[in-house]
């Protein structure tokens, strides 16, 4: 949900899909640097979703459940799920 709803908007606001950006990619002859930036942006959006309860769209936890949690965030207890969101860009 966070990427589906936010990635296009963030790319547009960053100017990542404008004519100048496309010309630079063609001139460089590789899209690897752009894909790396895209991956970093996507990871940031997912991180923001964890911090904001899915950009405010995830259902709130029961107060008793929240009281028992060490980390007071939805879908975060051990941080294993949150930390599993990574990327790797490999050229080939």
Model pLDDT for residues 11-65, shown as the tens digit of each residue:
888 776 677 877 887 788 778 888 888 899 999 999 999 888 888 888 888 889 8
pTM: 0.74
DSSP 4: H
d(CA 19, CA 42): 22
Per-residue model confidence (pLDDT) at position 75:
78
Phi/psi class of residue 83: alpha, beta or left (left: φ > 0; alpha: ψ in -120 to 50)? alpha
Per-residue model confidence (pLDDT) at position 92:
60
Question: What does the block give as tokens for 85?
Answer: 């969101």
């Amino acid at each position: 949900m966070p990427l589906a709803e936010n990635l296009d908007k963030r790319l547009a606001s960053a100017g990542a899909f404008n004519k100048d950006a496309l010309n630079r990619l063609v001139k460089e002859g590789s899209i690897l640097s752009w894909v790396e930036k895209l991956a970093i942006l996507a990871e940031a959006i997912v991180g923001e979703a964890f911090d904001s309860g899915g950009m405010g769209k995830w259902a709130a936890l029961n107060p008793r459940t929240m009281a028992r949690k060490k980390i007071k965030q939805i879908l975060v207890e051990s941080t294993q799920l949150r930390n599993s969101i990574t990327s790797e860009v490999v050229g080939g």
